[in-house]
Amino acid sequence: MMHIDHAEQARNAGEQVHHFHGGLHLRHNKKISCETPLERTPLPGLLIVPLLQHYGPEAEATVKTGQKVLKGDEIGCFAHLGGGYVHAPSSGIVQAVARRPISHSSGADGWCVVIEPDGLDQWKRLEPLTDWSDADPALLRQKIRNSGIVGLGGAVFPTAFKTDEAIRQGIHTLILNGSECEPYISCDEMLMREEPDSVILGARILQQAIGATRTVIAIEDQMGVVNRALKQAVESAGDDNIKIVKITTIYPEGGEKQLIQVLTGLEVPTGGRPTDLGLLCQNVATATAVAQAVVEGKPLIERIVTVTGNGIRKPRNLVARIGTPISDLVEQCGGYTNDVARLVLGGPMMGYALNSDANPVIKAANCILALTQSDIRPSQVEMPCIRCGECARVCPAVLLPQQLDWLIRNQQWDDAADSGLADCIECGCCDVVCPSHIPLVEWFRFGKSELRSLAVERKQAETAKHRYEARDARLLRIKEERRQRMEEKKRAIKDGAQKQQKLAEAIARARARQDRNE
Amino acid sequence: MSRKFDPGVAPHFPPQLTVTGVMQQVLYALLPGIIAYTWFFGPGILVQILLAVIFALLFETLMLKVRKLPLKRFLGDWSAVVTAVLFALCLPPLAPWWIALVGMLFAIVVAKHLYGGLGQNMFNPAMVGYVVVLISFPRVMALWLPPTSIASHSLTFGEVLNTIFTGSLSLGLSWDTISEATPLDAIRISLASGRMVSEARQSPVFGDFGGLGWEWIANLYALGGFWLLWRRIISWHVPVMMIGAVVALGLVAYLVDPGSNPVPLQHVFSGALVLGAFFIATDPVTCCTSNRGRLIFGVGVGIITLSIRSWGGYPDGVAFGILLMNMAAPLIDRYTRPRIFGH
Ligand code: SF4
Ligand code: SF4
């Protein structure tokens, strides 16, 4: 049961701006990619579309090699949970369904549908729903689910999963996250600047789909242009349930839990979700994808990607089809500078380093960041922890990183779990401020995965034990039953013998009487 | 054409600080105070610093070799130098050279490396070294100089070197004529002989608030301390609470019995309080890690310092205060754990 005051506080989300613990003031580096208008990436020679682009199990290919597909055709599907649907980014022939390097933190190859475009870029028959405001919310959610929409902020959680959960739990406020807390990334800012109407439309559709009564759009305090654009879009939409809130730019203010804390002053309980507070959080780009899916009938086949960093000659934002090789995008941005050293998918704080730019653009690819040697940490010279407490000061999850680190290294898993290891959001703040250059986040990722596998093992052991205990009990029961049966039998036999004996005695007595009488 | 890249793990971000950087900034912050010290009390202190640094680096090298640790990485962290400088700043300027030797032996070898080296030590090494020499050689450690401006004889650099290295004064000089009680000693002595603090303050070793010269040195230490605060090398919690506790308790004592208690500001501007508050008690390794813990830590050092100054057997209690609170720090940390987000 949520506290009454908390419910009230959650309802007032965005009325007041609160703070979260710790965080970092980071240099933005966003301007460099915001100066050129959005541009489309041309159709590549081959589209490599991974089947795992959402949080959850890999989708299964629904097309075969040699098959012709139209733009927007479903080519992969995982129908359970929130669903993971993948669509053809252009029309053409399926050249292969094969394992290819994909940009996934596991580093392993993944199944991909490789499409050779025919150059016609021909859409499948679209089914737009222009009168969405009269539509059944369930139908809207169905559209969202089938259009392969996932959280475009980078977490790629299937949006349908969240909307279904929202319906189950009942929520009042939709929060649209327009604050890109990581440096360099500017795709959402560009989107809100150039397509504010589409963002607002998406917000209204989502709001209807999940039965929320109001929407709060959070943007960074320095996005002046965005603020004006969105305000105007809200005005022309004539919807006064949408509120735009400027929040202070402190990394990681765009993290879901931090954003909610900033807007409501409440903490999402550990292990819980924003829906527990009656809130649903979505990225602004996701809202746009929803708008397109509903009113145009178009599935999610492209996204805005920020291509930036000191390793890129002309940083900018591109609209790229899913499946386009990253090298194509880089080329469109003038190529690499000579001193490029690392290629990152995502931001500098939480992004994932790619080992090749042949990897395709995926739904999670909000940013392609090329860094030079001086941007990244020099070869790690790790010193002992000097207990300075900086890590704890900046930790938005209010953990004690230095202690967690120690516990993990000494394999004290239970203590690490008790100290909130699972609550670490892997934001990297602690890591960046640590004067001893201890790779804290790396340890925490490792520790978290160990905790998870430990939990699985324990569960297995538990079930095994359970089974064992059950078997024991069954054996015992069987034994007991057998014993009972045996005793019954014995009794029965005894009784029978007694009866017979009585009978025999009776007969004998009778005989004796007879004999006497004779 | 596709291109290969070296993988790396997030964050892909240069670290903001290094241990070396922290230590160096602490040293920079000490500079104004050291300059003032030299100005008021002559060049002896510079010799002490140099000696302590040399011995510290020697012992550090030795211990790193014994423990088979990379010399370059650990000597390059400058932590031994900081220990040495902080230790030297607590010495009387004419202390014989072997004081630094003994002090650094205990600071670097015992307090630091026998406890596990950088980051593992429970006690502040500089304070361990200082307390060892203070307790072992109380007579030598009590030979302080008056500020040069009021000194009857101002020592030449040669005389200073001679005194430090031979342990005896140059011909024609005697400790009785050149040494002078520190302001804290002066108060203690006069109180012991039944006089009032206000009478003691008639002595020329006093300035406007604290000791003559000492108050300026303290000001400049504080200046360096503020710079460290601004650079976020230290947090405000320990210095504010430590000085605050001394002022608050000192005020109570003064109001209750102004005859035998100095005005609270006098406490702040004499002895090692400011140096200790900004530079020694804030040592990350031996302090508390959480801010709430640091508040308690600071108050603790303040209370102990004042108690020792008022009732203890030593004129200044900062070192003891810090060492005692070092001992309590792990316990304080345990009880001031912050509430985890969402718990
Ligand atoms: S990575 Fe984890 S421990 Fe480190 S600051 Fe972020 S939440 Fe805290
Ligand atoms: S920031 Fe690094 S050195 Fe400082 S306490 Fe945390 S882990 Fe230790």
In this model, does residue A68 exceed pLDDT 50?
A: yes
Q: What's the pLDDT band for A476 if we cut at 50, 70, 90? A: confident
User: Which has more confidence, A424 or A453?
Assistant: A424
Question: How large is the average pLDDT for residues A275-288?
Answer: 92
Q: Are residues A407 and A292 in the same domain?
A: no
Query: For B92-107, how does the pLDDT look when each residue is reduced to its tens digit (9 = 90+)?
Result: 988 999 999 999 999 9
pLDDT at res. A108: 75
Q: Give the C-alpha separation, A287 to A304, whole Å.
A: 13
* A1 pLDDT higher than 50: no
Q: Are residues A136 and A273 in the same domain?
A: yes
- The verdict on A249 touching B (C-beta cutoff 8 Å) is no
The predicted pLDDT at position A497 comes to: 46
Which run of H or E residues covers position A51?
none
Q: What is the mean pLDDT of residues B188-201?
A: 69
Q: How confident is the model at residue A263 (pLDDT cuts 50, 70, 90)?
A: very high
Q: CB-based contacts of A447: which residues, under 8 Å, 6+ apart? A: A404, A407, A408, A413, A416, A421
Mutate to test the pocket of ligand 1, among A181, A250, A256, A429 (most ligand atoms within 8 A of CB): A429
Task: Indicate if A33 and A155 belong to the same structural domain.
Answer: yes
State the average pLDDT for chain B. Answer: 87
Q: Which of A308, A339, A370 is the last residue of a domain?
A: A308
Amino acid code (one letter) for A148: G
- The CATH number given to whatever domain includes residue A416 is 1.10.1060
Mean pLDDT across chain A: 86
Residue A488 has pLDDT above 70, yes or no: no
- What integer pLDDT is reported at residue B200 of this predicted model? 66
Counting the structural domains of chain A, the total is: 2
Lowest pLDDT segment from A18-27, A369-378, B98-107: A369-378
Q: Is the same domain home to A290 and A394?
A: no
CA distance B108 to chain A (A): 16
Q: How confident is the model at residue A479 (pLDDT cuts 50, 70, 90)?
A: low
Per-residue pLDDT band at A468 (split at 50, 70, 90): low
| Residue A432 is assigned to a structural domain of this protein | yes
Of the residues A308, A333, A350, which one is the last residue of a structural domain? A308
List, for residues A313-337, the tens digit of each pLDDT value. 999 999 999 999 999 999 999 999 9
- Nearest bound ligand to CA A21? 1
Nearest CA to B277 out of B223, B245, B224, B238 is that of B238
Instruction: Grade residue A492 by pLDDT with cuts at 50, 70 and 90.
Output: low
- Binning pLDDT at 50, 70 and 90, where does residue A153 land? confident
Q: Please, which residues 428-457 of chain A have a Cβ atom closer than 8 Å to chain B?
A: 428, 431-437, 439, 441-442
Q: Which residues of B touch A21 (CB under 8 A)?
A: 338, 341
Strand A367-372 and strand A340-345: pairing?
antiparallel
pLDDT tens for residues B95-143?
Answer: 999 999 999 999 999 999 999 999 899 999 999 999 999 999 988 888 8
Summarize the confidence of residues B216-232 as an average pLDDT. 94
Q: Considering the domain boundaries, does residue A321 fall inside one?
A: no
Would A395 be classed as within a structural domain?
yes
Task: Retrieve residue A109's tokens.
Answer: 């190859």
Residue-level pLDDT at B109: 95
**Confidence (pLDDT) at A507:** 54
Residue A494 has pLDDT above 70, yes or no: no
- Tell if the CB–CB gap between B9 and A393 is shorter than 8 Å: no
Q: Is A227 part of any domain?
A: yes
Same domain membership, residue A258 and residue A148: yes
Do A411 and A279 lie in one domain? The reply is no
Q: Where are the domains of chain B?
A: 19-333
- A508: pLDDT strictly greater than 80: no
| Contacts with B290 from chain A: Cβ below 8 Å | 389, 392, 400
Check whether residue A182 and residue A293 sit in a common domain: yes
Q: Is the pLDDT of residue A440 over 50?
A: yes
In whole angstroms, how far apart are CA A326 and each of A72, A323, A346, A360, B2? 21, 9, 13, 6, 9
* A135 and A17 together in one domain: yes
| Same domain as A390, residue A304 | no
* pLDDT higher than 50, residue A96: yes
Q: Is the pLDDT of residue A489 over 60?
A: no
Does residue A330 fall inside a structural domain? no
Residue A71 within a domain: no
Question: Which has more pLDDT, A391 or A477?
Answer: A391
pLDDT tens sequence across B11-68: 888 888 889 999 999 999 999 999 999 998 889 999 999 999 999 999 999 999 999 9
Q: What is the ipTM of this complex?
A: 0.86
We report the CATH number of the domain holding residue A132 as 3.40.50.11540
| Region B174-193 average pLDDT | 72
Query: How far apart are the CA of A391 and the centre of ligand 2, in A?
Result: 6
B64 versus B209: the higher-pLDDT residue is: B64
* C-beta A401 within 6 A of ligand 1: yes
**Which of A276, A324, A436, A441 is the mutation pick for testing B, counting most B CBs within 10 A?**
A436
Structural domain of A399: 383-518
- A369 and B120: CB-CB below 8 Å? no
Q: Which residues pair with A372 in a beta bridge?
A: A340
* pLDDT at residue A54, as a whole number: 85
A206 lines ligand 1 (CB under 6 A): no
Instruction: For residues A295 and A418, state if they share a domain.
Output: no
- The residue with tokens 């989107």 is A191
Q: What percent of chain A has pLDDT over 70?
A: 89
Confidence of residue B210 (pLDDT cuts 50, 70, 90): low
Considering chain B, what percentage of its residues have pLDDT values greater than 70?
A: 93
Where does a domain end: A267, A287, A308?
A308
